[in-house]
């Protein structure tokens, strides 16, 4: 498959999560992957009035190759963000209409999402909208209403919705007024990566005594993270040797540091700042308990915090507030200690000091076993491939039923450039032709084309010249065909040209 991913963030600087993992895993599986980013926060010195296209190595999986497409930018700041919904349209039109993509995998909404959906619809390219959160609930202020309008447009008109949990998927389907159900695709997790353990070494490096009880939080420091409450409770409930490690950065970092200073906790609370993906397992390994103390809001109840999956993969005891999307996805058989609110998190951690080794082992096994079964790279990749294949096949079948049944196009090919052949057949599928016939040498393997439903009839070429091949194909076309023609295997035709 040739897949175009679209997101409104910077691929090269964003914290690694599924927007990197899915494209890179698909690349490693042999698919051709392109990614259109928004170059946020690149700085005025990196301004460019030309679209940049480069083949890069993967960030989560360095052996993967992704064609990264960066639109023109004047630094990726506020002005760029405001102009992007208009300036990105020519780039989207060129990519989607002429790029030969089998499918668009869309993360974006207000910056480039609604435009991509509109252009893809007109170009006959199916769109999988990937729901991870609800943009208008995260973006507060005057733009929130506009973002919500964009969301409704995208949710309603995307070919299908793929969500990372059922609660979010249903919310998106309801807001978009969809009649179909969302497809639930869990994100991939590199289990081997998070199995790394460097507890003794890292404790020495971070100045933590080997006997200390350590509670750790990892991730963005959102206003709804519950960490202000955690710091306050840690001051009241912790013993002198206990430590709280906060891995990450974000909105409330300065407020948290002021709170720590106010409570005289500087020697007990460690801020690591943002840590690279490669180093995360080592930093997590210093912990006795990992926490997700998110407040219960609409935003958090619709989310599936990736950090919790990573926690489970480490095998370290985990405490989390019981959030709808998270609990519905993981349930109560994963060894997680669920609590009702951020106010209960630290107390739950302190209670776990008395947990026996057998209890810790059981919790660790349950968590690792669950993520291995449902979130492994192999499982997640197979499921997302199935989703993409489904939407491509269904879209073509719908398009075929709308095409002229009495029109047949014959495409003779030797299979020298199957990439050109794929582009040609894709354009023909979207042209209005009711029947596509390939005449090709018997030994040419076209199994991928069959699975992608790129033609309807195959005839073996006898090898006695182009004219004889075309005439043979014409003679074998089914009855009911009133108009027949042929095109070269590198020719393209306009969408709906034959309708």
Cα distances from 219 to residues 246, 310, 376, in angstroms, run 8, 11, 21
Q: Quote the CA–CA distance of 251 and 239 in Å, as a whole number.
A: 28
Model confidence over 205-239: pLDDT tens digits? 999 999 999 999 999 999 999 999 999 999 999 99
Q: Side-chain half-sphere of 427: how many Cα atoms within 13 Å?
A: 19
Q: Calculate mean pLDDT across residues 182-201.
A: 88
Q: Calculate mean pLDDT across residues 416-429.
A: 85
Assess contact for 161 and 173: CB atoms under 8 A: yes
Task: Let me know how many helices (H) and strands (E) the chain has, helices first.
Answer: 20, 18
Give percent of the chain above pLDDT 90: 52
Q: Look at phi and psi of residue 130 and say left if phi exceeds 0, alpha if psi is from -120 to 50, else beta.
A: beta
Q: Quote the CA–CA distance of 378 and 80 in Å, as a whole number.
A: 38
Please tell me whether residue 359 adopts helix, strand or coil conformation: helix
Q: Calculate mean pLDDT across residues 343-367.
A: 89
The winner for highest mean pLDDT among 204-208, 395-399, 482-486 is 204-208
Lowest-confidence segment of 44-58, 182-196, 237-251 by average pLDDT: 44-58
Q: Calculate mean pLDDT across residues 145-159.
A: 90
Q: Quote the CA–CA distance of 259 and 253 in Å, as a whole number.
A: 10
Q: What is residue 362's predicted lDDT score, i.e. its pLDDT?
A: 84
Q: Is the pLDDT of residue 147 over 80?
A: yes
Q: Which residues contact 55 (CB under 8 A, 6 or more apart)?
A: 65, 66, 67, 68
Q: What is residue 499's predicted lDDT score, i.e. its pLDDT?
A: 60
Q: Is the pTM of this model over 0.85?
A: no
Q: What is residue 442's predicted lDDT score, i.e. its pLDDT?
A: 85
Lowest-confidence segment of 156-165, 382-391, 424-433 by average pLDDT: 424-433
Q: Which residues contact 143 (CB under 8 A, 6 or more apart)?
A: 110
Give percent of the chain above pLDDT 70: 93
Q: Which two tokens stand for residue 42?
A: 């690149």
The sign one gets for the Cα dihedral 379, 381, 386, 387 is positive
Q: Quote the CA–CA distance of 247 and 221 in Å, as a whole number.
A: 9
Q: Which residues contact 140 (CB under 8 A, 6 or more apart)?
A: none
Quote the DSSP letter at residue 73: B
Q: What is residue 137's predicted lDDT score, i.e. its pLDDT?
A: 76
Could you tell me the pLDDT band of residue 269, with boundaries at 50, 70 and 90?
A: very high
What's the chain's average pLDDT?
A: 88
Q: Which two tokens stand for residue 223?
A: 């206003």
Q: Quote the CA–CA distance of 284 and 316 in Å, as a whole number.
A: 9
Q: What is the greatest pairwise CA distance in the chain?
A: 89
Q: Which two tokens stand for residue 55?
A: 């083949």
Q: Is the pLDDT of residue 402 over 80?
A: no
Q: Which two tokens stand for residue 469?
A: 């091949």
Q: Quote the CA–CA distance of 268 and 235 in Å, as a whole number.
A: 9
Residue 381 φ then ψ, to 5°: -65, -45
Lowest-confidence segment of 24-38, 356-370, 392-406 by average pLDDT: 392-406
Dihedral in degrees, nearest 10, Cα atoms 169, 172, 176, 180: 10
Please tell me whether residue 221 adopts helix, strand or coil conformation: coil
Residue 186 CB: number of other CB atoms within 10 A?
A: 20
Model confidence over 301-315: pLDDT tens digits? 999 999 999 999 999
Q: Give the position of tokens 């990196």.
A: 46
Q: What is residue 405's predicted lDDT score, i.e. its pLDDT?
A: 58
Q: Quote the CA–CA distance of 254 and 250 in Å, as a whole number.
A: 9
Q: What is residue 105's predicted lDDT score, i.e. its pLDDT?
A: 97
Q: Which residue has the higher pLDDT, 466 or 106?
A: 106
Q: Is the pLDDT of residue 496 over 70?
A: no
Q: What is the 3-state secondary structure (H, E, C) of 262-277?
A: HCCCCCCEEEEECCCC
Could you tell me the pLDDT band of residue 365, with boundaries at 50, 70 and 90?
A: confident
Assess contact for 126 and 392: CB atoms under 8 A: yes
Q: What is residue 204's predicted lDDT score, i.e. its pLDDT?
A: 94
Please tell me whether residue 389 adopts helix, strand or coil conformation: helix
Q: Is the pLDDT of residue 418 over 80?
A: yes
User: Which residues face 454 on adjacent strands?
Assistant: none
Q: Quote the CA–CA distance of 244 and 263 in Å, as a whole number.
A: 13
Q: Calculate mean pLDDT across residues 485-492.
A: 84
The winner for highest mean pLDDT among 116-130, 233-247, 476-490 is 233-247
Q: Is the pLDDT of residue 430 over 70?
A: yes
Q: Is the pLDDT of residue 461 over 60?
A: yes
Could you tell me the pLDDT band of residue 482, with boundaries at 50, 70 and 90?
A: confident
Could you tell me the pLDDT band of residue 398, with boundaries at 50, 70 and 90?
A: low
Q: Which residue has the higher pLDDT, 79 or 92?
A: 92
Could you tell me the pLDDT band of residue 44, with boundaries at 50, 70 and 90?
A: low
Assess contact for 119 and 92: CB atoms under 8 A: yes
Model confidence over 234-265: pLDDT tens digits? 999 999 999 999 999 988 999 999 999 999 99
Q: What is residue 397's predicted lDDT score, i.e. its pLDDT?
A: 56
Q: Quote the CA–CA distance of 154 and 150 in Å, as a whole number.
A: 6
């Amino acid at each position: 498959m040739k897949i175009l991913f679209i997101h409104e963030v910077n691929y090269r600087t964003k914290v690694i999560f599924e927007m990197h993992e899915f494209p890179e895993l698909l690349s490693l599986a042999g698919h051709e992957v392109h990614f259109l980013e928004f170059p946020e926060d690149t700085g005025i010195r990196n301004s460019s009035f030309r679209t940049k296209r480069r083949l890069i190595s993967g960030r989560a999986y360095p052996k993967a190759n992704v064609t990264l497409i960066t639109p023109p930018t004047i630094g990726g700041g506020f002005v760029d963000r405001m102009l992007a919904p208009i300036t990105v349209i020519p780039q989207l039109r060129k990519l989607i209409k002429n790029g030969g993509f089998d499918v668009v995998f869309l993360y974006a909404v207000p910056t480039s999402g609604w435009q991509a959906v509109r252009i893809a619809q007109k170009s006959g390219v199916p769109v999988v909208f990937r729901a991870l959160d609800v943009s208008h609930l995260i973006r507060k202020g005057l733009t929130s209403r506009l973002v919500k309008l964009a969301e409704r447009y995208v949710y309603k008109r995307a070919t299908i919705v793929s969500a990372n949990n059922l609660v979010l998927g249903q919310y998106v389907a309801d807001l978009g007024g969809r009649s179909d159900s969302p497809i639930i695709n869990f994100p991939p997790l590199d289990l081997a990566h998070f199995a790394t353990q460097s507890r003794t070494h890292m404790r020495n490096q971070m100045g933590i005594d080997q006997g200390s009880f350590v509670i750790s939080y990892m991730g963005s420091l959102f206003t709804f993270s519950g960490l202000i409450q955690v710091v306050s409770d840690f001051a009241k409930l912790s013993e002198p040797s206990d430590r709280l490690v906060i891995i990450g950065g974000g909105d409330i970092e300065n407020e948290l540091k002021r709170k720590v200073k106010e409570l005289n906790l500087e020697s007990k609370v460690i801020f690591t700042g943002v840590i690279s993906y490669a180093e995360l397992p080592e930093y997590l390994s210093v912990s006795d308990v990992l926490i997700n103390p998110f407040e219960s809001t609409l935003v958090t109840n619709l989310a599936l915090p990736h950090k919790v999956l990573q926690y489970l993969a480490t095998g370290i005891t985990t405490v989390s507030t019981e959030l709808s999307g998270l609990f519905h996805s993981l349930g109560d058989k994963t060894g997680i200690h669920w609590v009702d609110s951020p106010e209960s998190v630290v107390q739950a951690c302190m209670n776990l000091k008395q947990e026996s080794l057998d209890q810790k082992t059981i919790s660790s096994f349950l968590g690792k076993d669950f993520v291995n079964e449902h979130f492994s790279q192999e499982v997640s990749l197979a499921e997302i491939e199935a989703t993409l294949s489904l939407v491509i096949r269904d879209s073509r079948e719908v398009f075929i039923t709308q095409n002229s049944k009495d029109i047949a196009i014959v495409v003779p090919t030797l299979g020298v450039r199957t990439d050109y052949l794929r582009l040609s057949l894709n354009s023909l599928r979207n042209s209005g032709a009711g029947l596509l016939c390939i005449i090709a040498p018997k030994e040419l393997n076209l199994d991928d084309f069959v699975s992608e439903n790129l033609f309807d009839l195959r005839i073996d070429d006898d090898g006695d010249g182009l004219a004889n091949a075309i005439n043979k194909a014409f003679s074998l076309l089914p009855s009911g065909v009133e108009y027949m023609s042929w095109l070269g295997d590198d020719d393209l035709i306009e969408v709906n040209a034959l309708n």
